[in-house]
Amino acid sequence: MEPVADEEDDGSAGANSRAVLEVLPGGRPGGLSVYEASFPPRVAAFLRYSPVIEAAQAARRRDWADGVYDIVTLALTAIDLVVSRQGFEEEATRADVVSALTGLAALAAPDRTAEEHADVARFVIDFLLNRQAHHAKFQYLTSDYSSSERQHQRREVPFSLLEERDDAAREENVLRATADAINALIGGLNFDVADEQVATELVLERQLQRNAFDSAVASAERARLLSLSLSDQLDRLIKQTRRDLRMVEGEWASEVPGRLDGARDHIRERLRAERALLGKVQDAIASGDPLLLAAARRIAELLTECQRRHEDLHRRVIDARGVFLEEQERQSFRPPASITLPDPHRQVFLPALELSQAHAIDLAERFVTDMWGPVAPRLPRLYRLINDLWQQREKTAPEGRSEEEPELSDPPLPLIREEFIAVAIRAVHAVGLPARLSRLLAACEADAEAGESARRSGGEVLNLAVLWAFSPEEADDEGGLIAGDLVGRILGPRAAVDSDGSSLALPGWEGDDVIVAPDSDSLATALPAPVPASRTLQEVL
Amino acid sequence: MTLMRDDHVDIGVLVAWALRPNQRPGRSPEYQRVLDRYRTIAEFRAATDAVLHGLGAEVLSDGDFGLVLGVVPESPLAFRVTDMPGLYKSDHKVIAGLILTGLAAFAYPSAQELDEDRLRPVEVAEFDVWLRDLCERLRSHEAGGEVIPEEGLDAAWRIYLVMPSLHLSETGRLSNKCTRYWIKQTLTWLTGQGMARPDPLVDDRWTLTERFRIHAKEIALERAYSFIAELGRRQADAAGADQGGQP
């Protein structure tokens, strides 16, 4: 066989590549495995370790104890911890992982500070999440020589190891290991999970038979990751189906029914096998051999977890077809989604930066309304409104001082005395609704059961209740319940107030002599008489 | 199926839950029950949608995060920029709008990213630097100095650049005269709406939640884009008319 390439003979890249193909040994077409279609996936699988290695290199540039912290071990521990709780109710949070890694860092360097240990832990988890790129996927460029024309092509390999997700049932973020991370841990390429799991369990069974418990632990770990991978595949399908069935309609038509049937058979078989294996492990535990005991317990733990995962997966496989049918019906009348979404950066934000002030305000108003969604109108807390009105205005604090002062104390207690409210209620009962505000205030003034001060205060409470019912404003209480309750007590639960432009002619009062009605229907036809300006209160009553 | 009184009560219950953005069906069996009815009973869903339509609202998502609603600007349920506390000056409105739009662009730099439901982190200082850099790129660096626009015609980016990143009050707190104050305020407001969550481990770091993504993707960006495109069309028409009118 001749040596490689004869560059000087023809000088062209195509001729060189053909020469390489012809002359290299290996017995396969093209001579080198790099020309095979399976090569790029192998390179991509190999790259899954790169972020961890890069993290270890970056750690050397940090101001930490030299070479004490093993970043690779910490990174794999983090992924393992996330995987062990993935799919269960209490999935791992960033705080859980940081806490576990901080403990390990402290064991590695007990003489260093606790802040450094926590810093190391945060560094590892941030690297796995690709914090530097705002949690975007890692991107690597590779060379692909596997095309039939034997040309060189550039490929982009994007992947994530850990992702932070919003947990629908919890008020915190949780971490999920991606299929890439799980595959990296298994050390395999893309494979048929079902076949791989059968193989793993056969190996595990043989290892248990010959009491090779250390190897059996590794196999049980692998079995768990495979279960997780299967679950992840189904989760993705269900989520995509719920989001937009059209994206996976073809998949449902062709592959999914067969896959679900296969998954059901597989789960049934795995549950049986896991029970059998568990029985064998428990025999080992019962034998009491101290050397085997710890490993046997760990295997039993892992197999029990696998069983739980498979039972859970079984439920989801059974439900999957129902999800498809349900979504088919639900989404059939949904208007088609916009075919192309605008590019948030290029088509929205950059033009927004160049808008004039007036247009930018218009855009801000639209965007705020669209982003915020609905907000239930809130009503004022009446006692606060009254307090505010009665309060002597304090000197304004220097700008910026009070902006972020947290409210640490309880809200002030209501200051409206019951006897004032009673005056207002009695006035409404005495006059009856619908009525003009002037008549209601006059009734307060004429209340024989109250003293002079209570009569005046009762009138003010009534006036404020009417004003509030006329124009509810922003309140800071819980949905306006307190204000609503108080006004409901005085004017009735459905009171409605409107103005026909008449002025309040009572001495000491000014503003509109509004009409107060028990409900909006009666308000439409009500035209009660006001208190004539020329008559005294006593004459009126 | 004919809807009965109890069904209408359930519609009210569902809408009431939907108006509380920090509530999630996973934490409340009652919310889950009425949401399941919405998802599975066509008549119930149609009646709910009709009620919401009357309120000027529409369903953006009915998934695991609950019934997420969008509103038209005329809806009595619409939140307006003037409802934000402390937004009195027009400059502040521009800055709050830029920050909110910028958060969407920062978290989802491309349309494809809007389809991914992983959470996006935002650090106040980092976001401020990013936005400031973009504004700086728009500044012209002419040898003769910059032309100062007339009152009200200033571009949005200049309003952001003019305000410093950091300004502390006498008590050492961020004052509303700096952009980081407004970024923190916006993220705090978003937290109240269930769209952001402060990082428990790191100060001044938030993550934008799934609800933020849904609103950005399903309604806000599309409408913002339409508004900008319409403005562009009108300006092009006006320029064309000017040219056509010239002798």
The DSSP code sequence of B16-30 is HHHT-TT--GGG-HH
The 10 Å Cβ neighbour count of residue A297 is 15
CA distance linking residue A109 with residue A18, whole number of Å:
56
CA distance A433 to chain B (A): 28
CA distance A399 to chain B (A): 7
Distance of CA B32 to the CA centre of its chain: 26
Cβ within 8 Å, pair B176-A399 = yes
> Given CB atoms, is B217 within the 8 Å cutoff of chain A?
yes
Cβ within 8 Å, pair B231-A359 = yes
> Given CB atoms, is A399 within the 8 Å cutoff of chain B?
yes
CA distance linking residue B77 with residue B67, whole number of Å:
15
> Given CB atoms, is B219 within the 8 Å cutoff of chain A?
yes
Q: Over A18-62, what HEC string results?
A: HHHHHHCCCCCCCCCHHHCCCHHHHHHHHHCCHHHHHHHHHHCCC
CA distance linking residue A139 with residue A160, whole number of Å:
9
Q: Which helix (H) or strand (E) holds A128?
A: helix A114-128
The 10 Å Cβ neighbour count of residue A292 is 17
Chain B residues whose CB is inside 8 A of the A135 CB are 118-121
> Given CB atoms, is A322 within the 8 Å cutoff of chain B?
no
Cβ within 8 Å, pair A400-B24 = no
CA distance B162 to chain A (A): 13
CA distance A503 to chain B (A): 30
Query: What ipTM does the predicted assembly reach?
Result: 0.91
CA distance B137 to chain A (A): 11
Cβ within 8 Å, pair A338-B222 = yes
CA distance linking residue A478 with residue A441, whole number of Å:
30
Tokens of residue A269, six digits: 């078989």
- Residue with the two structure tokens 């896991």: A274
Distance of CA B91 to the CA centre of its chain: 18
Rounded CA Rg of chain B = 22
What percent of chain B is predicted at pLDDT more than 90? 54
pLDDT tens-digit series, residues A67-111: 899 999 999 899 888 888 887 778 899 999 999 999 999 999 999
pLDDT in tens, chain A (541 residues): 333 333 344 445 455 555 555 545 444 455 788 888 888 888 888 888 899 999 999 999 898 888 899 999 999 899 888 888 887 778 899 999 999 999 999 999 999 999 999 999 999 999 999 988 888 889 999 999 888 777 888 888 888 899 998 888 777 899 988 877 877 765 554 455 555 565 666 666 666 666 666 666 666 777 677 777 777 777 777 777 777 777 777 777 777 787 788 778 777 777 777 777 777 777 767 766 666 677 777 777 777 887 888 788 888 788 877 877 777 776 666 655 555 788 999 999 999 998 988 899 999 999 999 999 898 877 666 766 777 777 665 555 444 444 443 333 444 445 577 788 888 888 998 888 888 888 898 888 888 888 888 888 888 888 888 887 776 654 444 444 456 667 778 888 778 888 877 778 777 777 888 888 888 777 777 777 766 554 444 454 4
Contact A42, A189 (CB under 8 A): yes
CA distance linking residue A215 with residue A199, whole number of Å:
14
Among A504, A499, A491, CA closest to A515: A499
Chain B residues whose CB is inside 8 A of the A357 CB are 90-91, 94, 152-156, 159
Cβ within 8 Å, pair A354-B138 = yes
Distance of CA A119 to the CA centre of its chain: 25
CA distance linking residue B76 with residue B54, whole number of Å:
10
Check residue B78 and report its DSSP letter. B
Contact B95, A362 (CB under 8 A): no
Chain A residues whose CB is inside 8 A of the B219 CB are 370
* Closest Cβ opposite residue B105 in set A349, A358, A377: A349
* Closest Cβ opposite residue A363 in set B78, B97, B173: B97
CA distance linking residue B70 with residue B3, whole number of Å:
25
* Closest Cβ opposite residue A342 in set B42, B176, B222: B222
Top residue of A330, A367, A379 to mutate, by most chain B CBs within 10 Å, is: A367
Helix (H, G, I), strand (E, B) or coil at A480: coil
> Given CB atoms, is A366 within the 8 Å cutoff of chain B?
yes
